[in-house]
Amino acid sequence: MDKKILIALRGDEVAPRFDLATEALMVTLTDQGEIVDRKSLLLAHASGDDLCDLALGRDASGVVCGAIEEEYYHYLRWKRVDVLDSVAGPVEDVLRALAGGTLRAGDVLFPREG
């Protein structure tokens, strides 16, 4: 069964804070980890409530984000949405980890200097 995942963005990276994101990427993954659909979404303004509504309205089974307020985290979990929080890095690296099934909460995917 395909999974829809919403990724809170700021530019080409995971947004540092869920409630300050004005962009999102909605991806659909097959059980084999293939991305079969990808949609960029813009919000009129930054709002954790709007991002939650967007995730639920699009039937997302998961959310990937940076820091998230406890209120939003518990609300999404109550609605049976998996939350991978404290994730940082470029969106393409996050997508590779998602597709490979290796993305975990707290992952920092920025390349190391030196």
Domains of the chain plus CATH, in order, are 3-100 (3.30.420.130)
DSSP 4-55: EEEEEEETTEE-SBGGG--EEEEEEE-TTS-EEEEEEEE-SS--HHHHHHHH
pTM, 2 dp: 0.94
Q: What is the pLDDT along the chain (114 residues), one digit of tens a residue?
A: 899 999 999 999 999 999 999 999 999 999 898 999 999 999 999 999 999 999 999 999 999 999 999 999 999 999 999 999 999 999 999 999 999 999 999 999 998 776
